[in-house]
Structure 1
């Protein structure tokens, strides 16, 4: 299949922070996703093959909870009932379903990671990307040596080659980090799934600008799903509401949703056209003009954020801010 419809499904997020039974809230969110994916497929048509959900659509995000508290309250098990139910939704509706969730890992029982997982129409997890850039949550880079020994670099920067094209994932504000999108594109990614939960505005935000830039720089489609509002916490519910969008490899916005729960951010993804464009010589074939060895050497000269900061176990929340302050001092002190 070289052309299909993709949907950035803009659905409401109900936070579980104050829930009496967080697991019941998560189950309810999965059920709502199932109903909305089915209704969206019926509305858009049988050629809907990719659905991207917003960032942490099942749980919301931590609001002061310790790493241990949030792991127990909101993190999923990779083989747990929530993922099994989501895989069944993907299979029932014949779609690739990209979900973003906090999850546990038996190799790192004291931590959790934020993951983007793509579930196939066969009900299988064909991609599991753990967020690398995170201000207040653990990442693979924080346990780098051991993580690499277990999963390898392909597990850190995965690209899923599927019947609808090569899929990769970028979580939320990671769209602001051009190195990640470039690395995934160099590994062959054609469609970048971007689950996000971000402040929306009728003006171009930094992340909206970055999505267009990442699409142009890497000759890739970007499918970005924002939330359709927040519930269950004190933050005003419409702060992260609207703006889900699809962007093509020339930076054109193909579809964009307004506020509220919505299936409006749906459009055709033409992978065959993208592949032709990537093989076309010219000034705008930016991916072919990257001087990879130069930048690898230059990046290696600078002492930025260091790996393995959490090799000793789960931190207090204050550790994340202290790490950033130390990095800033090294870079600019």
Structure 2
């Protein structure tokens, strides 16, 4: 049975980086982070109420991001194995609290044993994985697009842009800067997504940041809720810890901010999501129904004419960190030759 109205929480929790730790110490830190987050979810549900049905965690909340560490080393230290013990512990939290839990983590992959990917994973109240969305836009980490042919051979096209149809609505996920790419959110909306879950760990400011502007735009463009969880601080690395601290928020399908957290660990970014209201809005004729007015065939043709990052650029290689910047310079040069950049 569908829950037409319920509460969602963008849990703002501090991230403890495992950069510089040994593999055993990093794995212990991941386990400690899961236990701490589990306790916070339990306390948050007791505070917010039993109608809390969706909890979104910040980007890479269990590990932080790699600061210059080589791909194989970070994979061994910080990547979770699908079906591994960390996901079992997270599934137990979802079961215990009867919530859909959105986790963002680095993952190993049996088909690409030398790499890792960043993923948003949604666990339902039974502890089952109902969505796994591998990040498609990343500046310094491998993505499925970098090994596109092999990835599609392993998983098929439906795994690239997944939407989970659940009793609390049709859920999709975007990692961090993916909110800046309108074509990604629109593609998910055209596949039925109603709620865009957005784990992020981003620079926070009292002013509207590019990602904050993008969240409002993606909500309006797609008549979708956005539930965005930012870090409540990032420790264990030289970057000042409060640079990524605060601004977790829930935005409705007309771009209105329903709730927003300040700095620090917080459950303040929680609000009611009304599926019936969203669905009425999407079914209502008028100028404001931007989803119904989309022209996908037009833009598919136009997009296909242009240069940009290319699929399969990684090939079979295990890249050094410098490769990602080199790839971008090569893309900029293609754009220059095409007259896009002068």
Verify: 1:163 aligned to 2:167, yes or no.
Answer: yes
TM-score by length of 2: 0.97
- TM-superposed deviation, 1:231: 1.0
TM-score by length of 1: 0.99
Gaps of 5+ in 2: 338-342
Contact 1:29 1:58 in 2 (8 A): yes
Match of 2:121 among 117, 121, 135: 117
In the other structure, the counterpart of 1:11 is: 13
In the other structure, the counterpart of 1:35 is: 39
Match of 2:280 among 276, 280, 284: 276
Q: What SS does structure 1 have at the residue aligned with 2:243?
A: coil
Counterpart mapping for 1:21-170 below 5 A: 21-170=25-174
- TM-superposed deviation, 1:314: 1.1
Return structure 1 stretches of 4+ with deviation > 3 angstroms: none
Verify: 1:260 aligned to 2:256, yes or no.
Answer: no
Offset from partner CA, 1:274-320 (integer Å, 9 cap, x none): 01100000001000111111100000000211001122121111111
In the other structure, the counterpart of 1:313 is: 317
Q: Distance in 2 between matches of 1:313 and 1:89?
A: 37
Contact 1:117 1:128 in 2 (8 A): yes
Q: Distance in 1 between matches of 2:159 and 2:317?
A: 21
Verify: 1:289 aligned to 2:263, yes or no.
Answer: no
Offset from partner CA, 1:113-168 (integer Å, 9 cap, x none): 00000000010000000000000000000110111111111100000000000000
Q: Distance in 2 between matches of 1:257 and 1:121?
A: 25
Verify: 1:212 aligned to 2:216, yes or no.
Answer: yes
Aligned length: 333
Contact 1:19 1:25 in 2 (8 A): no
Aligned-residue RMSD, C-alpha: 0.6
Gaps of 5+ in 1: none
Q: Distance in 2 between matches of 1:142 and 1:240?
A: 28
